[in-house]
Structure 1
Amino acid sequence: MSAMGAGPPVRSFQGPRQALEVSAVAALGLVQGALPLPRAARAGTVIAVSPDAAAGAYGTWGGCGASKAAPERLAAVLGWRSRSPSGRAVGPGEVATDLCAAAVPGDDGPRPEPVRVVPAFPRPLRERPSSGRYEASALPAGLR
């Protein structure tokens, strides 16, 4: 579960601050630390895996959505500024995880297991399409 958890709108800054530090600041630090290798090789792709809450607002996601959107934006900026490495974002869609169950209480609708969605992730690595957000569940099976 994220630092924010599911629930009503944020009433303090502690939850959003912690979520941003974990999901955004830490991700930025990891990418910055790893950049010298792909830049030296003039190759590589940074993929930000982010939920739908990164691309749109959901009441039950609160400030967590902002913390998930930040790495996606960082990958997009990296892709815009540099071809080595490039940056992409992949949205897994609604997947059967504890975080999704907590964010959508009472909704027991069928969701794919992560193992069914992850095979779509290599497409941005193989094909190197233009920077942007890709929904793993929308990719044709032949491209996974």
Structure 2
Amino acid sequence: MFIATCTSQKGKELDEETQTIIEDFQTQQASGETEEEAFQSLFGKEQPGRVRCYGRSITQSDLKRHAEISAIKEQHQEEVQSLKGELGDVKEEVHGLRNMVKLLLQRSEPGISPEEIKAMLRNPQHSPVDANSGHGSTHAPNIHTVMSC
């Protein structure tokens, strides 16, 4: 940011002092220093209550708070994405289980209609298939026999 604000957009020559500072800044960065370290070594420490290049109203605590908020937002977004993935997996599993239950019901109760199966899956406690319906039975089907087909 420092270099961008100090260089001329109209192609004018920079004064010698500014050009020297920019070169020193780039040299220090090339030697492995961070931007903040290089900037601080050239211009000294910050004045209390101020942060260079951010204006008068921004303080160090504002920057720290902003960084914390950004980290929390990123963590939240990752968690949401993870939960969405898990939800998708659970939906696929439930869909597969519904299809398996439909198949088992169709095999154990050959006369049952698709509408009755859907009703049973929506509300299994109030099943339309019972002993009085003519195509229901009161015994539990032998799942091992059904599965071996």
Normalised TM-score (structure 2): 0.24
Structure with max Cα Rg:
2
- Greater fraction helix: 2
Normalised TM-score (structure 1): 0.25
